[in-house]
Every structure is written in structure tokens, then in C-alpha cells.
Chain A
Amino acid sequence: MTNDPRDARDLSAAARSAEVDPLHRALKALPAPRAPRTLLPRVLVDAEARRRQPGIAPWFAWSIEWRLTAAAAVVLVVGSLWFAWPAITLVGTLVLDRVAGAVEARAVATVPGIAALAHLATLAWEMVVQPALGYVLVWMVVMCAISVAIGAAFSAALGRAAFGEATQ
């Protein structure tokens, strides 16, 4: 073999055999390094501390059953919110209208001058806040869902970066 790097290109897996490659033979004959005696105690101490540590393991470290259950729960919650949204907005509007009406009536009864202000607030509510309320709430739900998804993906990516496909 020469110093030409093409030699390495030609070195196939078959060429690793002991008959062909004395270096491979010498390397494979090296005794495997032994773990230091300090490794086992270190691992056990850390494991014991980890076992006593309260808290929840990262999502990607859960068993597959728990991960599926958690994913199903998220889908259930989001789906429920999606289908129940008209009813939620209807109830919310009714409650808010009733509260606003009661406050307005009491205010009118005590301070007549407030009637105009209350009327103005009612107008502002009906024309500005109420139409946007649904969109704002939907936006908040979507952002929360995206945040959760990004967090899960980031955790998975971290795990994959550290431990590769072996964690699959």
C-alpha cells in the first residue's frame, strides 16, 4: 500500500479481514479497555438520585403507551373545544349580556349620568370586542397548541441529537 489516499478508497469491508490487512488484525487484537472501578458507583449514585427525584420525565422518555395516551388526550381536548366552540361562545355572550345589563340597570338607577357611558361601553363591546373575541380565543388556542408541538418536537430533537436513532 502506498501513501496515495486512493488506497483508502479501495479499502472495502472485505479488505478488513485479518488475512488482507495486518493493521486491522493488530487493532482487533487489542484488548478491550476495562471500565474504571469508579464508573459503577457513579452510575448507581446518579441513578438513585434520579429515582428519588420527584417530577415527570420528558415526554420523549415516556413509554410508547403513555405517549400515545397523552397524544390522544391532546387531540380529544382540542377536538372538544373545536366542536363545542359555538356553544361556548353562545353561553359566554348570554352571560356577558346579562351581567352588562344588570350593571347598566343598576348604574342607571343610581347615577343617571352613567347611562350614556354604559351605553357607549355596550356599543364598544358589541361592535369591537365581541366580534373579535372568537378570533382572539381561537388564536390563543392555536398558539398554545403550536407551542406544545414545538416543545415536543424540540425535546425529541434534543434526544435525537444526543442519542440518535437508538432512542427510537
Chain B
Amino acid sequence: MTDLTRFEALVLEYQDMVFAVAVRLLGNASEAEDVSQTVFLKVFERFDEVAASPALAGWLKTVTTNACLNHLSRYRSRWRLFSELPRERDNPGRTESVIDALPSSTPSVEDEVVRAERQAQLEAALRALPDHQRVPLVLFHFEEQSYQEIADLIGVSLAKVKTDIHRGRESLRRLVSSDE
């Protein structure tokens, strides 16, 4: 029988990682919490099998990614339709800059506050991207997957992955570049 105490320790250790992957892929904290819960229940069902695995973190990331894609696939038709249309959301027209995230040599308290605010802006902008741009972009930049891997995972063409990532980056880059 599964040891609930050990399971609780496992959830405590990995909940931030699982939730971070989910919330960035889904762009919605509430849905990300639901998906995270599903992922951990999957772990619970095969706890004895996976708990001792040295590749548990990678396994959790893969399971979470697939669960998120499965969650998003419910809206796949809307996703495809919107991906073909020019969206004002693709060009939010934000002109605020996000400061460079690398730490400066002597950051003051004010610098830290400003940086935190702008990081929050970038995080919000990332979550506000349409699904078809945010998902490949997150997989590319955060999960370090190649274009081909992303195309295979999402089930779209390589060209579409490249275009969507490019458009997503363009939207986000406006927040960054003016500060460069």
C-alpha cells in the first residue's frame, strides 16, 4: 500500500516544478492547479513504480506537458481557427520595457523592485499570449525542446511551430528590446 507520508513528501518536493510547467503552458493558474492535481494522482496510482526512479523529475515534466496539451486539445478547433487569424492580441502594442533580468553589479532596492515589476509584466505577457504561440514558445525556451520535437509533440507542421514561436517572441520582445 502506498505510504501517504512519502507521497506527501514527494508532492511537496515537486509541486512547484509541476505547477510552473503547467501554468506556463496553460497560461491559467486555476487550470494549471487542476492539471497538477491530475499529474500527482497519476503518480499516486503508480507510486511504488515511479517514486524510486532517478528520472522522476523528467518523467513529471513530460507527464505534465502531455497533460497540458491534452487539456488544451479540447479547444483545438478554436486554437487552429485563431492561429490562422491576425489577432490584435498578437500585437499588444505595449511599449513598456522589461529590464534586463541579469543581476546588475550593485542592484539597489529600487532596482530590485522595478525588476520584479517588469518580470511580472513579462510573465503576464507570456500568459496572455494565445495558446498556439505560448505553448511552443514555452516548450522552446523553458523546456529547451527543438522545433522538430515541439512539432511532433503538438502535432502541427514544423513551419507552423517556427512561425508561432516567432510571432510570440515578437510580442514579448517589445517588452524587452526597448530596454536593451
Interface, chain A (partner B; CB < 8 A): 1, 3, 5, 7-9, 11, 13, 16, 18, 22-36, 38-40, 42-44, 46-48, 50-51, 57, 61, 63, 161-167
B146 & A13 in contact (Cβ 8 Å cutoff): yes
User: For window 109-152 of chain B, which residues contact chain A by CB distance below 8 Å?
Assistant: 119, 122-123, 126, 140-142, 144, 146
Kindly state the separation between the CA atoms of A144 and B31 in the bound complex, as whole angstroms.
40
Main secondary structure of the interface of A (DSSP, over half): helix
Most buried by B among A42, A163, A166: A166
Contact of B20 among A24, A33, A161 (CB under 8 A): A33
B35 to chain A minimum Cβ distance, whole angstroms, is 10
Contact of A35 among B15, B65, B98, B102 (CB under 8 A): B15
Check A46/B63 contact, CB under 8 A, given A36-B19, A63-B49. no
B158 to chain A minimum Cβ distance, whole angstroms, is 9
Kindly state the separation between the CA atoms of A167 and B100 in the bound complex, as whole angstroms.
39
Contact of B66 among A29, A33, A163 (CB under 8 A): A163
Give the residues in chain A near B63, CB-CB below 8 Å: 163-164, 166-167
Extra A-B contacts (7), CB below 8 Å, given A46-B37, A47-B4: A11-B165, A26-B119, A27-B141, A27-B172, A32-B16, A36-B33, A43-B41
Say whether B177 faces chain A, with CB atoms less than 8 Å apart: yes
Main secondary structure of the interface of B (DSSP, over half): helix
A27 & B162 in contact (Cβ 8 Å cutoff): no
Kindly state the separation between the CA atoms of A11 and B24 in the bound complex, as whole angstroms.
21
Check A40/B11 contact, CB under 8 A, given A29-B102, A167-B63. yes
Give the residues in chain B near A22, CB-CB below 8 Å: 100, 176-177, 180
- Lowest 7 CB-CB distances: which A-B pairs, in order? A29-B101, A8-B166, A164-B66, A35-B19, A166-B62, A35-B15, A32-B20
A28 & B141 in contact (Cβ 8 Å cutoff): yes
A-B contacts at CB below 8 angstroms, number: 146
Sort chain B's interface into a size bin. 35 or more
Contact of A34 among B11, B19, B46, B70 (CB under 8 A): B19
Residue of A nearest to B173 (CB): A23
Kindly state the separation between the CA atoms of A38 and B37 in the bound complex, as whole angstroms.
10
Give the residues in chain B near A167, CB-CB below 8 Å: 42, 63
B137 to chain A minimum Cβ distance, whole angstroms, is 8
Say whether B59 faces chain A, with CB atoms less than 8 Å apart: yes
